[in-house]
Structure 1
Amino acid sequence: MRIRLILVTIPTLLLGGCVAVRSIFYTPSDTGAPPYSFEDLEPPETDPYSRFKDWKRPEGPPKVGLQAGHWKNSELPDELERLRGNTGSSGGGKSEWEVNLAIAEVTKELLNTRGINVDILPATPPVDYWADVFVAIHADGSTDLSKSGFKAATPRRDLSGKASSLLEFIEQNYVEATKLKKDPNVTRNMRGYYAFAWWRYQHSVHPMTPSVILETGFLTNASDRRIIVSRPELSAQGIASGIINYLETEKLLPNDQN
């Protein structure tokens, strides 16, 4: 496997008005999540939160956004044009977006049976997109064909304060439904996923939306493909059950229908 190092220079303002330049070597991951820049990881150090202090959830039934990672990637807006060429992983004759979309569609069907409104979103999130739950569905890839398992992550900064709870429910249910092992190697790319960077992009998720990015399995692993490609309903069941459990705990969905 070839290891690539990317040199990033970051200007820093010092006392007295001088500017120093820091250089950082960054090793890209081979995860299915697209590579992002350092600015995607952290909001500005001013007070970006003031407009959300009195925020209240809009009235209405529960709403869920399921993003099929890399789907319609060529249609990304100019502010995200650097990601247009990133088509994700592939394996078994399938492109990643096809696998992600198939899982998202079955997940939507399952959630609809509980009266949950679901948007299936392409690579481009709507401007300032809000929902009770946002899950970015992806599939991993690696030059090491033995790598297997799923992993999930929350944004590095979670203003909703609820993403960790959502993550826990999805992980628990995903393991039960798919029997895939949990891969602990969550990457910087996942925590800094571009759709989470509301302080940088208009096309991003509203900061009060509990959000998770899920790498459903490795498309480059034959065993994982038997789940995420051949039986997408298993992945969908894990995702849907996790979301339903979360919405029940938030009292956005009655739990007497189980």
Structure 2
Amino acid sequence: MGRVFLSAGHGGFENGQIDPGVIAGNTTEAAVAIKIRDLVASSLRTRQVEALIVPDDLSAAQTLNWINLRYRAGDIAIELHAEGTTNPNIRGTTAYYIANNPQRQEHADRVLEALLRKVPQLQDRGAKPDTETATGSLLFCRGVIPPSVWLEIGFLTNPDDRFLMLNRRQDVAEGIADGLIAWEGGTSLPDPIVPVPPAPTYPTIGINVNGQMYEGSGLLVNGNSFIPVDLADSLGVDLSNAANIRRLRYRNVVYIKAVDLRDFNISVGWNNTSRAVVLRSILPICVGQLDKIMGHGNSTEVQLMIFLRNTNAAAISAFPEIAKLYREEASVEGVNYDIAFTQMCLETNFLRFGGGITANSNNFGALGSATGDRPASFASAREGVRAHIQHLKAYASTEPLVQSVEDPRFRFITRGVAPLVGQLDGRWSAAANYGAQIMALVRRLYESASLL
């Protein structure tokens, strides 16, 4: 196998300040990840595998550059994290991989299996595509050249997980090292350094666009599908100002990583039989309209319920009419019910609730009370949905409400200041990427419903 790049999540400088990550139990995510990372490196080196430690003072973007500048064929990369949540009962370990990549999924499975074999007290949350993260993608999975996995070892906010990460870190590190060895299936010495590496040669793949084979070919680069940038133009995607899109010039043609088009409402998949990347752009919505709060949804009631059930099956029995209520209440006020429904999923953790809000409060938008001293509470699910819809409309429109006011904080909002989902950042939530989290769920909904 080649070399292993080891990165500890957080600890570097972001926006001029050191980013500690999650803080819980008198420690930080950065401190925990760094200590485990160093033990993983030591374990790999004892097995004659070269481990390269990413400096801890780098930002996320600098980390990618550091790895990419040193990459050689055969190298792999992993970044270690510890999750955090307001619910201390949530725990478990997850390995994230770049979406729609079966090979990378297998790598994530191997790392996860080895870790859980060494530390079975950790709970298995499974290997998941990065599209299931809060923002719908992970820069580490997509921005580094070598094959990569992002590992959430456990929840720092859970006492049991925190105990394991602090007191059994050697076992945790050994398990991760075992998984990295299994990733490549051997413990061979690292490739020798050659003064001038040969020009890479990449295999070609087919490209299927909306059911039709594209005339040109794509490339398979380290297990990732790349397509000609001209194809993005033909799909109506303008990448001229997209600085984060990974570009590759190969034999005088510029290619881009296909999965990056997800952020532009293009569905990206893979057909193993035909060895073709599958692109689909059938949603009858122009780019720039998908994130408008005022409008009409595109999913059906059944599609909304399936989306909810796939993440929390128990929610269906607890709130059997939740999708119907959102479609009805949002349609009355002219609010896009797909946006409202996915925001509900985000705010309630798919109706698991938490953060001081319980299911019987029917507070689906995490709304505050009029006095601001406690979360709001509503007598029925319909009233709670209606209040949520009204709160969205208050931000997105200056039009009057159709129904009587249920939202206790409606009168405090400056009307029409946030017609787009991204403009809820720092308003509905303190999170700077709050809108991106909602839109990531909207895309997941549309993909699950084959609308995108």
- Return the TM-score normalized by structure 2: 0.36
Find the counterpart in structure 2 of residue 116 from structure 1.
Answer: 49
Find the counterpart in structure 1 of residue 176 from structure 2.
Answer: 239
Deviations 1:178-226 (A, max 9, x none): 111112595324861122343xxxxxx11xx111101000111111111
Q: Equivalent pairs: percent with the same residue?
A: 25
Work out whether residues 173 and 242 of structure 1, in 8 Å CA contact, stay in contact via their aligned partners in 2: yes
1:88 equivalent among 6, 11, 21? 21
Q: Normalized per residue, which structure has more helix? A: 2
Find the counterpart in structure 1 of residue 38 from structure 2.
Answer: 105
Find the counterpart in structure 1 of residue 91 from structure 2.
Answer: 148
Deviations 1:92-125 (A, max 9, x none): 2111100000010000000001111111113431
Please, which runs of 5 or more residues in structure 1 have no aligned partner?
Answer: 1-60, 199-204
Work out whether residues 148 and 181 of structure 1, in 8 Å CA contact, stay in contact via their aligned partners in 2: yes
Find the counterpart in structure 1 of residue 77 from structure 2.
Answer: 134
Is 1:125 equivalent to 2:63 in the alignment?
yes
Supply the AA of the counterpart residue of 1:253.
S
Q: How does 1:74-85 map to 2 (within 5 A)?
A: 74=13, 76=14, 81=15
Supply the AA of the counterpart residue of 1:195.
F
Find the counterpart in structure 1 of residue 162 from structure 2.
Answer: 225
Work out whether residues 169 and 242 of structure 1, in 8 Å CA contact, stay in contact via their aligned partners in 2: yes
Find the counterpart in structure 1 of residue 109 from structure 2.
Answer: 168
* Structure number with bigger Rg: 2
- Give the Å deviation of 1:85: 6.9
Q: Which protein, 1 or 2, shows the higher relative CO under an 8 Å CA cutoff with sep ≥ 6?
A: 1
Structure 1 residues 89, 178: closer, same or farther in 2, change over 3 A? Answer: same
Structure 1 residues 233, 190: closer, same or farther in 2, change over 3 A? Answer: farther
Supply the AA of the counterpart residue of 1:194.
L
- Return the TM-score normalized by structure 1: 0.61
After superposition, the CA RMSD in angstroms is 2.5
Structure 1 residues 137, 238: closer, same or farther in 2, change over 3 A? Answer: same
CA distance in 1, matches of 2:127, 2:78: 19
CA distance in 1, matches of 2:119, 2:40: 14
Q: For this pair of structures, how many residues does the alignment match? A: 175
Is 1:210 equivalent to 2:150 in the alignment?
no
Please, which runs of 5 or more residues in structure 2 have no aligned partner?
Answer: 190-452
CA distance in 1, matches of 2:9, 2:98: 16
Find the counterpart in structure 2 of residue 66 from structure 1.
Answer: 6
Structure 1 residues 147, 213: closer, same or farther in 2, change over 3 A? Answer: same
Structure 1 residues 185, 242: closer, same or farther in 2, change over 3 A? Answer: closer
Work out whether residues 151 and 182 of structure 1, in 8 Å CA contact, stay in contact via their aligned partners in 2: yes
Structure 1 residues 216, 190: closer, same or farther in 2, change over 3 A? Answer: farther
Deviations 1:27-48 (A, max 9, x none): xxxxxxxxxxxxxxxxxxxxxx
Which deviates more from structure 2 when the two are superposed, residues 129-138 or residues 224-233?
Answer: 129-138
- Give the Å deviation of 1:252: 6.3
Supply the AA of the counterpart residue of 1:212.
V
**Could you say what secondary structure the match of 2:110 adopts?**
helix
